[in-house]
Structure 1
């Protein structure tokens, strides 16, 4: 099973989903803006991606600029921010066999399939 944290309004997210469909992957679609990911889910994604939580933050989002820009938060606080404001989570994220990739660029997703 391949999981995609998906935002249907995002071009890159739609491209990654289309790639998974083209590869005949069995897909679990998580529309994370409709069903907020838990703290545990975000923590696991960060771990699988091998990055710091701040690296998963979309810094162009209005909420980031208004509430978080210029602040130095702990890793746990950044994770809490993503749980509270899932729009901050970079997208799409594809997970397969304990590995995760951010679909920017889409080649990242191909590497884990």
Structure 2
């Protein structure tokens, strides 16, 4: 089943959600700010995205800049930081089976469907 890791306050995430709704395909909405992924879940998402953990971090967020930007962190520490501060997770993430994309721009979501 297709999943979208969604933040309703994010315009890009709302745009992707509307796209999925219009696609007619079945999907699940994961409100990751309320239902924060576990360490293993986030690690699995990162593997499906085929990126380094730092590439999933919203590095322009105030909390990142003020608390973490200048720190040297391991991949596991970065993942743990995202779990403790889920606002730092880039969005929207669309997952379909063993593939995932950060749907920015929206056209990336098309490729996964």
TM-score relative to the length of structure 2: 0.97
Equivalence for 1:7: 7
How many Å apart are 1:95 and its aligned residue? Answer: 0.3
| SS of structure 1 residue aligned to 2:70 | coil
How many Å apart are 1:36 and its aligned residue? Answer: 1.1
Query: After the TM superposition, which residues 76-87 of structure 1 pair with which residues of structure 2 at under 5 Å, given as runs?
Result: 76-87=76-87
Distance in 2 (CA, whole Å) between partners of 1:61 and 1:25 is 32
Equivalence for 1:18: 18
Equivalence for 2:102: 102
Equivalence for 2:92: 92
Distance in 2 (CA, whole Å) between partners of 1:41 and 1:105 is 24
The RMSD of aligned alpha carbons is 0.7
How many Å apart are 1:37 and its aligned residue? Answer: 1.0
Distance in 2 (CA, whole Å) between partners of 1:13 and 1:40 is 23
Equivalence for 1:49: 49
Aligned length: 113
Equivalence for 2:60: 60
How many Å apart are 1:41 and its aligned residue? Answer: 1.1
Residue segments in structure 1 that go unaligned for 5+ positions in a row: none
TM-score relative to the length of structure 1: 0.97
Distance in 1 (CA, whole Å) between partners of 2:35 and 2:66 is 23
How many Å apart are 1:71 and its aligned residue? Answer: 1.4
* Structure 1 runs (4+) greater than 2 angstroms displaced: none
